Structure 1
Amino acid sequence: MAQHNDLGRWGETTAASFLLEKGFKIIAKNYRSWQSEIDLIVSKDDLLIFVEVKTRTGTAFGMPEEFVNATKAKLIMRAAEQYIFDADWENDVRFDIVSILRLPDGSTDIRHIEDAFSR
């Protein structure tokens, strides 16, 4: 498997653990609909949150969260609409990004950007 796929899988696992520690409940991982995938679907209280995880090993081309462009956001929102319909969800939703930077010394810098698509 390609090294970037391994990094992505590691990032999604790291993000899930991070969110669990913050009190979120994991509903689904790698939800696929149409031509898009939602990395994590989590909930907290009466809120359903669709999470895009971006993991990088450096910032030469920008911070990880900067790689979620408008096209990607639209694809995620389209998949979320399908999930909301299938789950018959009637409460509020939000779209977040978990940005993970794996540093050369093995440490990580994790940023949780709430309501990321409304900015």
Structure 2
Amino acid sequence: MSTVKGKVAEDAAAKFLIKKGYVILDRNRRLGRGELDIVASSADILAFVEVKGHQQRTSSIEAMHQDKQQRMVSAAQTWLGQHPKFGNYQCRFDLIVVLPSNIKLLPPKIEHIKDIIRL
């Protein structure tokens, strides 16, 4: 993500994952035909996470169209080629939706959708 709003959403998503016990391995990595917002691990799972900071949940999910999915898979394959020690991990593609709060002092609402891409 290149915008300030996108950076804020990615930071919130990374903090959320860390609280859930994930280890952040990489962020904002442009590889192959795509970009990986977050690469995280938990036990023997490797999660390639797309972060969307839209105003509505539905627009975030719709943004995961087929071309976006293919670019994400391409980037993940390249990342795995560069990090062979993760070859035995089970790979998963997730989406984290970060919705802004209507009240300025409240944190954003975060939804973690696992296995958004089925290969």
TM-score (norm. length: structure 1): 0.88
Spell out structure 1 runs of 4+ moving beyond 4 A.
none
Q: Does 1:90 align with 2:87?
A: yes
- Number of aligned residue pairs: give it: 114
Q: Deviations over 1:36-63 (max 9, x none)?
A: 110000000011110000002x22x934
Q: Is the 8 A contact 1:29 1:39 kept in 2?
A: yes
1:103 is displaced (CA, Å) by: 2.6
- Code of the residue aligned with 1:39 in structure 2: it is D
Query: What is the aligned-residue RMSD (CA, Å)?
Result: 1.8
Partner of 1:105: 103
Q: Is the 8 A contact 2:35 2:75 kept in 1?
A: yes
How far apart, in 2, do the equivalents of 1:9 and 1:109 lie? 16
- Code of the residue aligned with 1:22 in structure 2: it is K
How far apart, in 2, do the equivalents of 1:10 and 1:78 lie? 25
Identical amino acids, percent of aligned pairs: 30
Q: Is the 8 A contact 1:40 1:50 kept in 2?
A: yes
How far apart, in 2, do the equivalents of 1:63 and 1:118 lie? 20
Q: How does 1:45-84 map to 2 (within 5 A)?
A: 45-56=43-54, 58-59=55-56, 62-84=58-80
- Code of the residue aligned with 2:99 in structure 1: it is L
SS in 2 for 1:62: helix
Q: Is the 8 A contact 1:25 1:43 kept in 2?
A: yes
How far apart, in 1, do the equivalents of 2:87 and 2:117 lie? 20
Structure 1 residues without counterparts, runs of 5 or longer: none
